[in-house]
Structure 1
Amino acid sequence: MKTTLDYGVHRPRVQLALSGDRVREFAEILTDWEIGYSTIDHKLLFAGADTRPIVGGSPLFVDIDETLAERGLNTIRDTFAALAARTRIIAVLDAPLLDGIAPLLDVPGIEFLVWPEQREGLMAALQPIELSDRVAERIRREGQVDLDSLRGEVERIAKALSTLVQNSENDRESGGGSGRSPAESAHLLRRIIRRRRARADFFPPDLFADPAWDILLDLSAARHEGTPVSISSLCIAAAVPTTTGLRWIKALTEAGALERQPDPLDGRRHFVTITDRTASQMELYLDAIS
């Protein structure tokens, strides 16, 4: 596999396995931010080629393009898992391809970046790469990016979810004995969601950003309504930038709160749902507030 090193670096800080114009776009950004990088042939990664040129410890940005999406990501899940075992993987995709990535949600270590994304999203994906003080100050000044806040984003997600599902002794039967019908539970959940959305009419939306709760509310209501939920619609329900929504969906999946289900009409497509355990806990919550 041909690998091209830029800046004459011996150990690139970032690796790019991107296709088309995207590799040039990322290269321009990394050059501007004074981050050394190498490029790896995108096609060869998914053709059973040797991956020895991949440098462990340097984040690898990998394109999920239409060709891969059409093949179905189930077929290349093992490739992503093998790559993620070697180094940190950030899968880059366009928003229209969101609904096909569910097979990768439970791949340990993989992250997602929906492109084009705001500068904050790319900086979050690049963490914990350290920038020179001069470049960091310029990014702060030009893009108004809080680098210290971005640096701890993934760690905060993991910590927040660490006790979400602790042990099976806390499992309860779904329904909590409330006597509510599914329609009544769905109506209550949708009312909670509407009230949360109403806050944006009076306060800045990011003041109350709580994507995990928004995701659980939406999926709980959809479960009672018998409505399948795609990843793209769930990112909208999270009320945060798409890349951030994906981080939360993946973190909730790894915590055992969410799971994916195949679309019976299209094997390449998956939906996201809450687990039975999460549904039970949500019903107990509704019991407490109703």
Structure 2
Amino acid sequence: MQADFSYEPVCNSAGCQIGVTVLADRAHIRGELRDDAEAAGFRVLHSMSLADYANGAITALGDVLLVDCAEDTAEALALLSRLDMRAGKAGTQMVVSTTMGALDAIFGCFSSSAPQILVDPCRSERAIAIGRVLAHVPNLRLRELGEEDRLMLLRLTEQVGRIAEKLEKVTQGQRAQGGAFRFESPAPNWHAEDDSYVMTKDRKAVPKLPRAETIRLVIKARKARAHYFEGELFADPAWDMLLDLSAARVEGDRVSVSSLCIASGVPATTALRWIGQMVTAGLLVRVADAEDRRRVFIAMSQDTVDAMARYFAEVGVSVDGFVLA
């Protein structure tokens, strides 16, 4: 039975009910999105397939845009890119749901609007995303909320709070020290005995990342814990992604969004929230594919690379392998 989220009509500062556009090729999902938007207090301006919207007259997007795109066809990607630019300029809030198979192409379409991207979501996950949109609306009054709904929203709030708290600590370190972790600088007359450290004119001494095989051993050891304990006890998607990106950096490989989501060890939608937060914090960067501008890879920023190299050196993982047992 679908939870009954019932809200007073949501209005903007002018007193007009906030409008939403629903675009989805799958008719049953389009109907669910429309019903959930109306239940949340929005006024549905348009509800149609992506193709119908693309072929129709140009219309206003409204304040909120809900999109479901399961296939990364050229026509769909072109429309999403246009919607991204329009939504970014207009300040329209977007919620986009897609499939794991289409994620990489869909992710690459968005650079201006900062949408919530959901991967193979259930209806309740889409309702939560709509709820996050409502969080930006002032003076919202909730008429009725069941105990199960309260617990669900509480878990969501706790999760977002933990993300914000961890990232705030990281960004504070970056602002104060120029990196994600704090380490003392070497003395002016310091020099390396080999090439484990590098010196440049504008950069302080920075250790190199260990070999990819060594980093993969660290990742393998982390995953082995799930053989003996409940995996969720050790969920740390940000760190798992940084480890995977570190190994890829040494190997000279590019990492797709979908691959990074898998490496995170958490559901793809959760991983995407982490990726978005880490890009905002400057830990990760989007890298466009020179051969296909629609495709986007994720990489560590140079400060993050340096911080990871310092971390490995601090815990006894050298360029040549483990130093400490």
Q: Please give the range of the TM-score, normalised by the shorter of the 2 chains.
A: 0.7 to 0.9
Could you report, residue by residue, the CA deviation over 1:146-181 in whole angstroms, capped at 9, with x for unpaired residues?
A: 211213544543443235343496259xx7559977
1:262-281 alignment, distance < 5 Å? 262-281=288-307
> Alpha carbons of 1:265 and 1:87: their partners in 2 closer, same or farther (altered >3 Å)?
closer
Aligned equivalents of 1:119, 1:72: Cα separation in 2 = 22
Greater relative contact order, per chain length (Cα 8 Å cut-off, separation 6+): 1
Structure 2 match to 1:26: 33
Once residues 65 and 159 of structure 2 are traced to their aligned partners in structure 1, the CA distance between those partners, rounded to angstroms, is 19
For 1:133, which of 144, 150, 164 is the aligned residue?
144
Query: Residue 224 of structure 1 aligns to which amino acid in structure 2?
Result: V
Q: Distance in 2 between matches of 1:73 and 1:162?
A: 34
Deviation at 1:16, TM superposition (A): 2.3
2:112 corresponds to which residue?
107
Q: Give the match for residue 146 of structure 1.
A: 152
Equivalent position amino acid for 1:63 in 2: D
Measure how far apart 1:219 and its partner are.
0.6
- Deviation by residue 1:202-244 (Cα, 9 ceiling, x = unmatched): 2222222111111111111111011221111111111111111
State the Cα distance separating 1:288 from its structure 2 match.
Answer: 0.5
Q: Which runs of 5+ in 2 are unaligned?
A: 1-8, 10-15, 135-140, 180-184, 186-195, 199-204, 317-325
In the TM superposition, what is the alpha-carbon distance from 1:251 to its structure 2 partner? 1.5
Instruction: Report the equivalent of 1:16.
Output: 22
CA contact (8 A) 1:123 1:147 kept: no
Give the aligned partner of residue 191 of structure 1.
Answer: 217
Deviation, 1:131, is 5.6
CA RMSD, aligned part only? 3.6
TM-score by length of 2: 0.68
Unaligned runs of 5+ in 1: 1-8
Higher normalized helix content (fraction of residues): 1
Aligned residues: 269
Matched, 1:86 2:70: no
Q: Secondary structure at the match of 2:305?
A: helix
Q: For residue 60 of structure 2, what is the aligned residue in structure 1?
A: 52
The amino acid of 2:86's aligned partner reads A
**What does residue 5 of structure 1 align with?**
none
SS at match of 2:211: helix
- Give the distance between the partners of 1:279 and 1:60, measured in 2 at CA: 36
8 Å Cα contact 2:256-2:298 kept in structure 1: yes
Identity score, percent: 32
Distance, in Å, in 1 between the alignment partners of 2:94 and 2:232 is 28
CA shift in 2, pair 1:265/1:81, >3 Å: closer
TM-score (norm 1): 0.75
Code of the residue aligned with 2:212 in structure 1: it is A
- Superposed CA deviations along residues 225-273 of structure 1, whole A, max 9, x for unmatched, are 1122111111111111111111111211122111222334433322211
Q: From 162, 167, 183, give the equivalent of 1:161.
A: 167
